[in-house]
Amino acid sequence: MQEIMLKAYKAYDDYIENGTFKSWLLRIASNYLNNYYSRNSVECLSLDYEDEEFNSFYGYLSNEELSPEEKLIHDELISSVMLQISKLPKKQSQMIIYRYFYDMSIEEISTKMNIPKGTVKSTTHYAIETLKKHLNVDRQGEKIMECKEIYKYLFIYANGTIQPDHKKLVEEHIKTCPKCNDIVVALQKLIPTMVFAQEDEMTYFSISFPELKLAFTGIRYEVENFELCEKALEEWGGNIPDDENNMSSGYTKNCEILGVFDNEGNEIKMKICQETETHYRTKPTYMKKVYRYMWNYCAFLNKVAGGYIRSSKEAPNLYYGSFNNSLGGNAKSALYQAIPKEAENIRIKRGNGVIDCDTYKFAYVDRYVTEEETIRLEYSYLLNK
Which residues bind to Zn ion, rule: CB under 5 A?
147, 177, 180
Nearest to 33 by CA among 108, 92, 98: 98
Handedness of CA 187, 189, 193, 199 (dihedral sign): positive
CA 200 to chain centre: 35
Between 176 and 352, name the residue whose CB sits nearer to Zn ion.
176
Residue 124: strand, helix, or coil: helix
Q: Are 308 and 325 in contact (CB under 8 A)?
A: no
Nearest approach, Cβ of 130 to Zn ion (angstroms)?
17
Nearest approach, Cβ of 147 to Zn ion (angstroms)?
3
Nearest approach, Cβ of 188 to Zn ion (angstroms)?
16
Q: Where are the alpha helices (DSSP H) in 12-116?
A: 21-39, 55-61, 68-87, 90-96, 106-113
How many Cβ atoms from other residues are within 10 Å of residue 261's Cβ?
A: 23
Nearest approach, Cβ of 267 to Zn ion (angstroms)?
19
Between 116 and 178, name the residue whose CB sits nearer to Zn ion.
178
Say how many Å lie between the first and final Cα of the chain, rounded. Answer: 49
Nearest approach, Cβ of 145 to Zn ion (angstroms)?
8
Between 115 and 145, name the residue whose CB sits nearer to Zn ion.
145
Residue 247: strand, helix, or coil: coil
Q: Phi and psi (nearest 5°) for 36?
A: -60, -50
DSSP 8-state assignment for residue 329: S
Nearest approach, Cβ of 211 to Zn ion (angstroms)?
14
Please state whether beta strands 203-209 and 331-340 pair in parallel, antiparallel, or not at all (unpaired): parallel
Between 27 and 139, name the residue whose CB sits nearer to Zn ion.
139
The amino acid occupying position 368 is: Y
Between 144 and 260, name the residue whose CB sits nearer to Zn ion.
144
Between 147 and 257, name the residue whose CB sits nearer to Zn ion.
147
